[in-house]
Amino acid sequence: MNLSQLYYFKKLAELEHYTQAAKELYISQPALSDAIHSLENELGVPLFQRVGRNVRLTKYGAEFNEYVKAGLQEIDNGVAKAKSYTAGTQGNLNLGAVFPVQGDYLPALLNSFNECVSDKVTFKLFQGFSLPLIDGLRRGEYDAVFAARPADAGDLDCIPVVSHELVAVVNRKNELARRRTVALGDLTGRTVITYRSGTPIGNDVSALLADCEVAADQVYEDEISIGGAIAADERSVGLCTYTIGLAPYKNVKPLILEGVPKEFHRIYLITLKDDFHPFLLQEFMRYTASFEPPEGAVPHLVA
């Protein structure tokens, strides 16, 4: 039994006439007859009975026909779905993203893509931390993720899209709050808190602190938790990126870190290097690589 036989059977069941069915199938009538007889022999039951010059489904054929129609419809749906991935800029994209880009950069990007490329795309967004998001990408849960680049990125394509500067954050009652800038050396002997070691951003901060005599308590996951800790502590200093995660804390002041590059921590659009990329995803990757965020879409601390 093969798909051709099933399509032949379906067409004959619809038209109930060998000559007409063979004509629409672009095959000879003997070829159609042979295919149906072969199918009947394999199933062991008669599927059609002669009624004058026409044929009609037997009770076995009528029952079989319901399964054939349902099965072929599912196959046709699958073929159409597969072809849609190369057909154009419409469909769904599942995107994972770290929190810092979800309130400014990412909405600007997605709105611009819908306006300039296609408004027939549905973006499904999932929030998480960089390493779990990349694990999900490798498991096939996302089409792409916006995250920090991991150390083991050999199987990944990483397109830099946005960067955040590292700042010192203090409670507004802290003596350092009178300043606009601070050097890492000024933090020696102070209680410093920052990101957890083992994460991409935590490792970046660890490397930065390795050359100076500053010890840090590296147990925090994100800017929200660091900002919350500083909001409740007048003496400590936090080291974190300047993102929307700090926005809720009005009694926390960010300070520019002298000598630290503005583009300290990069976020990338990350996809699997050897995976099949549907046309829609390819277009999204190309657009994202050239996208310039509008002014104000990414927060920057002005000296």
Q: What is the pLDDT of residues 39-84, one digit of tens each?
A: 999 999 999 999 988 999 999 999 999 999 999 888 877 776 676 6
* pLDDT tens-place string over residues 21-33: 999 999 999 999 9
What does the angle CA 226 – CA 144 – CA 80 come to, to the nearest 5 degrees?
150
Could you tell me the domains of the chain? Answer: 3-84 (1.10.10.10), 91-163+265-290 (3.40.190.10), 166-257 (3.40.190.10)
d(CA 145, CA 98): 8
Cβ proximity of 155 and 274 under 8 Å: yes
d(CA 225, CA 234): 15
Beta bridge partners of 240: 167
Q: Are strands 265-272 and 144-147 parallel, antiparallel or unpaired?
A: antiparallel
The separation between the first and the last C-alpha atoms of the chain, rounded to the nearest angstrom, is 75
Which residue positions in the chain have pLDDT lower than 70?
80-81, 83-89, 302-303
- Which DSSP string do the residues of 119-166 spell out, in sequence order? S-EEEEEEE--HHHHHHHHHTTS-SEEEEPPPS--TTEEEEEEEEE-E
Q: 3-state SS of 40-66?
A: HHHHCCCCEEEECCEEEECHHHHHHHH
d(CA 226, CA 18): 77
Within 10 A of 32 (CB to CB), how many other CB atoms are there? 21
- Give the predicted TM-score (pTM) of the model: 0.71
